[in-house]
Amino acid sequence: MKDRTRNAPAAPKVVDRAAFQAELDALRIREKAHAKAGDAIAAARRRLPMVEVDGSTPLVGENGATTLLDAFEGRRMLIAYYLMWFPGKAAPDQCEGCSLYTSQVRELSFIHSRDVTYATFSQGSYEESARYRDFMGWKMPWYSAEKSLETLLVGRKIGMMHLVCYLRQGSKVFETYWTTGRGVEVMGNSYALLDLTAYGRQEGFEDSPDGWLKLSEEEQGYRFDGRPIVQWPRVNAGYSDDLGTGKS
């Protein structure tokens, strides 16, 4: 990516430590209120009703045909990210947003300690999408839900990313929550960390002072120089992005 450190954008005013701390203390009151509001929303989420889903709904996994129930791996709960997929497209043409968020899901042991399994449900074929998983170096459980999307995503737009939560009671499976759009930001910490910095996400929708550092429209997405940004470290390290399409 191009070097933007040579620019001299506007910056926060300089004050002494006491003035800085006073402003921060005032903001902290709002931060704590925001955290409590988030706790209240989570509490309401835990009180949502649930809807039964057929646990025998077929998926394709590493060992071939399997089911939604099997994807729990014996745990009580399952979080499934429905990855967007463009059949027959080369790796650079796959979804940059899904690539970003999936790349931020790494260590799963803490989630497992809460009796929860996390898995990716590709909306494309297992053969193609698993090659993409391997190219990206992702280690989470991986399935194709391509043949069962009408059942699993009933009432939702197939082809969009979705984050869906399930609960297992014996052999019965229930859907307890789902989200899409900006709701999937919970999968990663990149935006949360950027929101702590002086210039934030540097994107057009943000309310920032005049003259604040902003990315160009070309730079504001998740793609740079013809690829999803998160692919470049893998390409530069020499990993093959051949998905079997002949268009690597």
Q: How confident is the model at residue 219 (pLDDT cuts 50, 70, 90)?
A: confident
Q: What does the mean pLDDT of the chain come to?
A: 94
Strands 116-122 and 142-144: parallel
| Superfamily of domain covering 51-187+223-236 | Glutaredoxin (3.40.30.10)
Q: How confident is the model at residue 18 (pLDDT cuts 50, 70, 90)?
A: very high
State the DSSP H helix or E strand holding residue 194, giving kind and residue range, or none if neither: helix 190-194
Phi, psi of 184 (to 5 degrees): -80, -5
Q: What is the pLDDT of residue 246?
A: 58
Residue 31 has pLDDT above 60, yes or no: yes
> What is the arithmetic mean of pLDDT over 27-45?
98
Per-residue pLDDT tens digits for 139-190? 999 999 999 999 999 999 999 999 999 999 999 999 999 999 999 999 999 9
Q: How confident is the model at residue 6 (pLDDT cuts 50, 70, 90)?
A: low
Q: In the block, which residue shows the tokens 């197939």?
A: 158
> What is the arithmetic mean of pLDDT over 41-51?
98
Q: What is the pLDDT of residue 204?
A: 81
Listed residue (190, 204, 176, 164) closest to 97, CA to CA? 190
pTM, entire model = 0.92
